Structure 1
Amino acid sequence: MKKLFSFSILLLLLVTACKNDTEKKIETSEDSKTSEIKTLQLTTGTIEANQFEICQENDCPKVELKYLVAEGEHSERINQQNEAYLIEIFNSTPDSSSAETLDEAAKKFIKEYFNFKNEFPESPATYEAEVTQEELVKNDSLLTYKTKFYLFTGGAHGYGATRFLNFNPKTGNRLTNAQLFSDETAFTEFAEQKFRVQYEITSESINSKGFFFEDDVYKLPENIAITNDEVILIYNPYEAASYAQGQLELVINKTEVEQFLNY
């Protein structure tokens, strides 16, 4: 009898342990899935001219868009801001885009092309829109997209540029350039000295080598990125120099300016 009782107790303990172990595994699995959902992941979305009905039977301009799509925590807010940002790129075309989605912006671009061809049927000029995005920085405190684009709508030449879009992944909010720095004034002074060395500007005015900073005063560019090792400053054509001078890029070692940065 005692042996039977002892065996029953042992069996009960084994069953309870197995049950608890199974529950723990289920909880761990569910926690893991939840963590995966919350962790921000980036995939690529594409838009091409041949996906639109009008381009099935007509020769359309080249339209190739490859853009980042966030999934996970705060992804909806990030995607909304990024889409608005990409739509804004089309505002450099003759008719500013009033589209609410990137699909609409691409359709409007194609429509503008056909309007142009109807008005100037003999013109050999065509339209072209290329946009590519890539992840430049992704960590707990900073998410940075690098966007390169080129638009051509006739004329002497098209326009291409490189832009950075910075987000706080903890909130999904877009960061301004000012928010990247703990001391923007000190960083600007440091960057100016680097700029002067790179373009061999000594004691002369900042515009003495053909640049056209407003009021002859150096200023930071619109596009700034902070990576693990560098701070990248990009002046796109017409921002600080002529189109012929192309894109100006200033790269600063992060260790030299860490005291001025928030990231």
Structure 2
Amino acid sequence: MKKIVAVVAVLIIVVVGVLLWRASPPTQLAHYQNESFRLAAPDLSGQSQDETYYALTYPLFESERINRFLMKTLPRPKDHSAMAKAAQKLIDEHRDYAKDAEQPMAWFEERRDRVLQQTPTYIAFQSDSQSYTGGAHGNYSVVFVNYDVAKDRRLAIGDVLQSDKVQAFTDRAEQRFRAQEGLAPGIAYDERYFFNSGRFNLTPNFVFNDEGILFLYNIYEIKAYSEGQTELLLPYAEINDLLNDTGKHIRDSLPTSRPARTE
């Protein structure tokens, strides 16, 4: 009987401890180190010093919880063995392509994931990708991921706004977008823009910085490749009244935050 009571007591302590941990926001920065992988093959044309290569850089945290989150939101090969297989696949496919190409060009796939902003309760990740695997040009993109450390979840824009202010936020974003693009109110989005049904929409690709909330539309998302990426910054002065407590907390914590690398 005493053993049962002791076991129950331990379980209660553990449960209470977990609940208290979840209720109390973290106070320390999460530590990590940057890991890198690169595998290359010489240019098969023999006419240049270019290499066909596969490269990946990513933060590896001491916290497995954060590592699991990153693997879900920014998927990558799980270890160097899997990365080597992905790299070899690219090299083999390039070798097959080069057999029939008159002037074979080197291929590459490169991605750099990094910590862009960090506080004890918020981490912003930026993933930069670029590649060329044939065709007229390569591709590139930038993806932001906003992580709520305490709740172990990805933040969407609705998570940092007052629930009844989402439409007002979108309206202000469109006003700034039109001013930035030189479009007067009421002027339709013509064939230059790819908005669905000709209506403005916010990309889910955003991040908090020292000036405001930055939205980034990647190539092909709302414009042609030749137009490149489109950034839209909403300064805090224009949106402070729309942020909820989570958004305000992130805004106020950023100026003094610094990544806690352990390299």
1:110 is the counterpart of 2:101: no
The code of the aligned residue for 2:111 comes to V
2:100 and 2:85 mapped to 1: Cα distance? 23
Superposition pairs of residues 122-201 of structure 1, within 5 angstroms: 122-123=100-101, 124-182=104-162, 183-201=165-183
Secondary structure of residue in 2 paired with 1:225? strand
Matched with 1:64 is 55
Gaps of 5+ in 2: 1-25, 45-49, 248-263
TM-score, length basis structure 2? 0.70
The code of the aligned residue for 2:37 comes to I
Percentage of identical aligned residues: 24
Deviation at 1:37, TM superposition (A): 11
Q: Is residue 111–residue 127 contact of structure 2 (8 Å, CA) maintained in 1?
A: yes
Secondary structure of residue in 2 paired with 1:121? helix
Give the 4+ runs in structure 1 shifted more than 4 A: 36-39, 99-103
Deviation at 1:173, TM superposition (A): 1.9
Q: Rg bigger for which structure?
A: 1
Q: Is residue 137–residue 143 contact of structure 1 (8 Å, CA) maintained in 2?
A: yes
Deviation at 1:118, TM superposition (A): 2.2
Secondary structure of residue in 1 paired with 2:75? helix
The code of the aligned residue for 2:33 comes to T
Report the more deviating stretch, 144-153 or 60-69.
60-69
1:213 is the counterpart of 2:213: no
The code of the aligned residue for 2:174 comes to E
Instruction: Tell me: CA distance 1:209–1:258, structure 2 relative to 1, closer, same or farther (3 Å).
Output: farther
Report the more deviating stretch, 125-134 or 101-110.
101-110
| Higher relative contact order (CA closer than 8 Å, sequence separation 6+) | 2
More helix, by proportion: 1
TM-score, length basis structure 1? 0.70
Deviation at 1:153, TM superposition (A): 1.0
How many residue pairs match? The answer is 210
Matched with 1:3 is none
Deviation at 1:49, TM superposition (A): 0.8
1:191 and 1:113 mapped to 2: Cα distance? 44
The code of the aligned residue for 2:88 comes to I
1:239 to 186, 205, 221: 221
1:180 and 1:158 mapped to 2: Cα distance? 35
Secondary structure of residue in 1 paired with 2:71? helix
Q: Is residue 161–residue 236 contact of structure 1 (8 Å, CA) maintained in 2?
A: yes
2:80 and 2:155 mapped to 1: Cα distance? 22
